[in-house]
Structure 1
Amino acid sequence: MTTLTTLRPRPRFGIGQHVFLVILTIAFLAPVAWAILSSFKPAAEIITDPLGFDPSSFSLGNYAAMFQDVPIATGFLNTGIVLVFKGAITLFFAPLAGFAFAKYEFIGKNVIFGAVLLTLMLPTIVLIIPLLLEMKEFGWVSTYQALVLPGSIDAFAIFWMRQVITSVPDELLDAARVDGCSEFGIFWRIVLPVIRPGIAGIAVLTVMNIYNGFVWPVVIATGENMQTLQVVLSTLAQNITGNKIGADFATVWGELLAASTIALVPLLVIFILLQRHFINGILAGSVKG
């Protein structure tokens, strides 16, 4: 006797749920929209009429003044250099480590992997002093080496890659070995093409973490010429008041909003362009190992 199973339709959001999501979206986006619009207002209007926006008063004065008072170009340059080199190290070595933990058996494997995961529980502030002393011994204080190397092989990235690579069939790797492929060749030619969504996901997270990094750069970058973007933004008010005699509160806020808007644009563009890959990477990284 044949039984027919009916597929249940996907649950749909009701009107109340849609309204809730719209309100939640507005609540998240309203401060960002306010900051962007206010950056194009004359500085005085930000204080006198904080919630209003008159298109006729549209001005680029905050941006022009900010570029004169703040070395934001230097911050972008340093952040870009750190992003390229640190991101490259992470995206090369983290998949290799994940491949080793996922597909090889060796003495102490679980202990080593547990130690890697244990580092995720350590607050960043605990590592600041030991890392700073180490950089001093190497003579790397306020250098690109100090900004790039510490933390470049992230424990979370290794964990993510291990979870993703676990889903790659062992039969596929064994077939490549039978054909005479080397172990690195298996990783490069077989594993990498399969785990591209997972790599895309961790790439987006890596870019965001490096771009928004603040604690370590503010400690190690003692010279103004080595400051990353987030460090420049943190000292923006002091830079403005230091370069302008009698700078008022409104001027500081106007230039601060202009700098924050410019800093927001790259991350926003990256996330919009890579949103699909990021979601696919999240799903790829959710495989149980």
Structure 2
Amino acid sequence: MTLPTHAVGRRRARPAIGSQLFLVLLTVAFLAPVVWALLSAFKPANDIIRSPLLFDPSTFTLDNYAAMFEDVPIASGFVNTGVVLVFKGAITLFFAPLAAFAFAKYSFIGKNLIFGAVLISLMLPTIVLIIPLLLEMKELGWVNTYQALILPGAIDAFAIFWMRQVISAVPDELLDAARVDGCSEFGIFWRIVLPVIRPGLAGLAVLTVMNIYNDFVWPVVIASSERMATLQVVLSTLSQNITGNRIGADYATVTGELLAASSVALIPLLVLFIALQRHFINGILAGSVKG
């Protein structure tokens, strides 16, 4: 028995509606804590504890933000994180595609062995590398310096792997045509390969910024002084800073300022992701090419 066309259409539409409903519920579940934190940061500190789920626009205040900026050196945390982002991100986005270009488009002795070593390094947990890196930084006299925050891990194994997958999809004919025209090997990379892999590079840029911005374990080990503390380290010691700078600071005060600081720290990443969402999605798709 053959069902009418309109009945088949309805049956096919049901899974789509169900999937969309599931995605909406999942989105709400993920965004609800973020929205709550952003709104609660504008509430009086005592109201956050007394009625955490109620939001009265008439009581919204900037007191939590004002007190937080007085008690917490969040500005220096932003500056240090910004410096690390600019220099470490630049190193990653230049040298990782360059290394990936060699792995994707050149044949040389030990190529597979070296690339295998790069992939194996992805399996090493960060905690295993901390002690050797810390001892190395101490011998170099780089403890509590920007060099120690920037250079270790700047050329990331995942970034090389990601870019190799993307560059492998670039047609060899383009490169051969550039060689016939007299273009140098670096010129081929700079003028031919980079414009083609721009979506994948944009996706890598977003991931790199997020990883550097959210990095906590290495900065808290190597940058023990308040002067060199990055934003995540400042946030981790926020409670101590508040109670140390304000006598009699209670739990409500700490919670209000903590929400204010978290909201301020969230804004840059939120703006970055919204602005580069399309490039990030295209970059994810470009990185899924089989090499």
TM-align CA RMSD: 1.0
Of the three residues 22, 25, 33, the one matched with 1:31 is 33
Amino acid in the other structure paired with 1:253: T
Deviant stretches of 4+, over 6 Å: none
Percent pairwise identity: 81
Residues 67-216 of structure 1: matches in 2 within 5 Å?
A: 67-216=69-218
Partners of 1:151 and 1:30 lie apart in 2 by 34
Residues 222-241 of structure 1: matches in 2 within 5 Å?
A: 222-241=224-243
Equivalent residue, structure 1, for 2:245: 243
Amino acid in the other structure paired with 1:255: E
Q: Does 1:44 align with 2:14?
A: no
Equivalent residue, structure 1, for 2:274: 272
Shift in Å, 1:14: 3.1
Equivalent residue, structure 2, for 1:6: none
Shift in Å, 1:45: 0.3
Provide, for residues 200-246 of structure 1, a one-character-per-residue CA deviation record: whole Å limited to 9, x for no partner.
Answer: 00000000000000000000001101000000000000000011111
Amino acid in the other structure paired with 2:248: G
TM-score of the pair, normalised by structure 1: 0.95
Shift in Å, 1:48: 0.4
Partners of 1:257 and 1:98 lie apart in 2 by 41
Partners of 1:39 and 1:165 lie apart in 2 by 45
Amino acid in the other structure paired with 1:159: F
Partners of 2:264 and 2:114 lie apart in 1 by 42
Amino acid in the other structure paired with 1:121: M
Provide, for residues 39-87 of structure 1, a one-character-per-residue CA deviation record: whole Å limited to 9, x for no partner.
Answer: 0000000000011010000100000000000000000000000000000
Provide, for residues 162-196 of structure 1, a one-character-per-residue CA deviation record: whole Å limited to 9, x for no partner.
Answer: 00000011111111111111100110111111000
Partners of 1:99 and 1:155 lie apart in 2 by 14
Partners of 1:14 and 1:200 lie apart in 2 by 31
Equivalent residue, structure 2, for 1:61: 63
Residues 273-288 of structure 1: matches in 2 within 5 Å?
A: 273-288=275-290
TM-score of the pair, normalised by structure 2: 0.95
Provide, for residues 118-171 of structure 1, a one-character-per-residue CA deviation record: whole Å limited to 9, x for no partner.
Answer: 010000000000000000000000000000000000000000010000001111
Partners of 2:116 and 2:49 lie apart in 1 by 53
Amino acid in the other structure paired with 1:22: V
Partners of 1:87 and 1:175 lie apart in 2 by 32
Shift in Å, 1:31: 0.4
Shift in Å, 1:18: 2.3
Consecutive unaligned residues of structure 1, counting only runs of 5 or more, are: 1-8
Partners of 1:34 and 1:19 lie apart in 2 by 22
Consecutive unaligned residues of structure 2, counting only runs of 5 or more, are: 1-8
Equivalent residue, structure 2, for 1:5: none
Equivalent residue, structure 1, for 2:5: none
Q: Does 1:19 align with 2:15?
A: no
Amino acid in the other structure paired with 1:132: L
